[in-house]
Chain A
């Protein structure tokens, strides 16, 4: 099954091309666009981006799999990524990870059966001064406690 960008995404792709002296420099931004458009970076998305950029799917796949942010498999409606690095760990991240696992009923890496949440462990999110931290889709949530995690997740539609 082939995929294609919406008109708006296609226009954004064309705009990106004007910003670089080399067409391949748009690969990372194009993969971000693809993930936004299609939910994850599927095999079809890889082929599509390769065609747009004018390179091989193998090259795009090599790039896509190098970076942690491109999801090669579908994720839940909300991708909950909680930091497990040192500053967060010192302030209770391990306990929060256990709480999230129990609350969502999935281990890190898993998606809830209703497809609403995927839980992942993240390395340092660069917000150590407000640890512990998690990212839900694009948004950061800082100075987390068990209670604040419950309040944040329970509010998500």
Chain B
């Protein structure tokens, strides 16, 4: 099977620029510099490259939102704040193929007429930030970054910027505030970042994997990339499979690979020969699926049709014998911890969800608590500046809808039938 990103990831030396170039690395940048910016954007549009950070917005369309007026400098910000529980793919790209990202940034920057770019990497990724810093230094030394790149007259400065521990900074406007040295509070939109973003300049924010796909698209053409996936969802995806599977890890598979096949063929099925109980398909915020729902094409549209999302490509596998109330309680602790506190429905809602799910798990649930969870969720969705509130409500709602009997049993018996253990 043809791969876009991971082809040489087994080779430790691939992170070095000479080895990367030996495999044709930076040839795409050279080619891009001979194209027009519009030509590059068209190619990315043809590729049906959808944002890999979670929202799935078409990258080429997003690029088109920058104002035509070139009087203000623009900024390209790379979202490397990988924090959605269950997601660990961008870390792989940055540690095994950092030059794919650097080259993708250089090509995108040229297409967007950007001369200043930042990789905002989550603070905990100290090692990956160091690897990226080394790759950036190598690219400067080789003339792929800096002034007059490859004699084209195009200049680009790239800086790796470390976050400091806040899930919310994966949301693009929060990330922008954080990059500016502020608390990571999301901003009201409009204005959208494409008109007023980082340092009040027109800004595009793209995910690591999204940009790392760009060199391949330029080398092989957008149509070929599109053909690897399904309609409206081109290329491959890095799918991280975690939880109770025999072979957890990141798998690069064509967009639209069957979810059941991802879990059973690629990730080797459920650990210890257990039956499957549930799957969180696209990172912790995405609505949970029952085993009879996973025979589905893992692409953005097909997942939306069954009421969930492919999100950030993080498939979390939950085995038979797991207490779903306890699993939800872990997630609700997380969202309550990570709410920035700016909007009341989220600040209060995540806190109450944590409290109510926690007390049900502890055997202290009250009659009406399940209805209260659903009512809270209704009041949290679509009512806040950013989607963190929805991100907490979606799992809560779906866990209750699909595993209601477990919640009722906890309340009825006033204890956890699983003995308060995973």
Write the residues of chain A forming the contact surface with B, with a CB cutoff of 8 angstroms: 19-22, 24-29, 31-32, 53, 62-63, 66-70, 84-87, 89-92, 94, 122-131, 135, 138-140
Contacts and interface: CB of A to CB of B under 8 A. Distances in A.
B240 interface: yes
A77 B136 CA distance: 31
Given A31-B164, A129-B240, A138-B127, A86 B316 contact: yes
A128 B242 CA distance: 6
Nearest to A128: B242
A91 to B, nearest CB: 7
Given A29-B161, A85-B334, A90-B243, A69 B183 contact: no
Contacts of B181: 22, 24-28, 53, 63
Chain B: number of interface residues, binned into ranges: 35 or more
B56 interface: no
Interface stretch (B82-90, B348-356, B407-415): B82-90
Contacts of A21: 116, 199, 201
Contacts of A122: 124
Contacts of B40: none
B167 interface: yes
30 contacts: A19-B157, A20-B159, A25-B181, A26-B181, A29-B162, A32-B123, A63-B182, A63-B183, A66-B183, A66-B184, A67-B123, A68-B166, A86-B85, A86-B316, A86-B327, A87-B86, A87-B242, A87-B316, A90-B243, A90-B318, A90-B319, A123-B337, A124-B83, A124-B334, A127-B88, A128-B86, A129-B242, A129-B250, A130-B88, A135-B124
Contacts of B249: 129
**The 6 residue pairs across chains A and B that have the minimum distance between CB atoms:** A27-B181, A68-B165, A67-B164, A128-B242, A69-B165, A24-B181
Contact of A123 (B125, B184, B250, B338): B338
B183 A128 contact: no
Contacts of B330: 84-86, 89
A149 B182 CA distance: 36
B421 interface: yes
Nearest to B247: A129
Contacts of B165: 67-70
B272 to A, nearest CB: 11
B243 A28 contact: no
Contact of A28 (B163, B167, B242, B280): B163
Nearest to A81: B124
Most chain B beta-carbon contacts within 10 A, residue among A22, A25, A66: A66
A123 B180 contact: no
Contacts of B84: 124
A92 B422 contact: yes
B166 A67 contact: yes
Contacts of A22: 180-181, 199
B41 interface: no
B275 interface: no
B5 interface: no
B212 interface: no
A123 B85 CA distance: 8
A25 B316 contact: no
Contact of A128 (B178, B316, B334): B316
B164 A62 contact: no
B214 interface: no
Nearest to A67: B164
Contact of B126 (A62, A123, A138): A138
Contacts of A24: 180-182
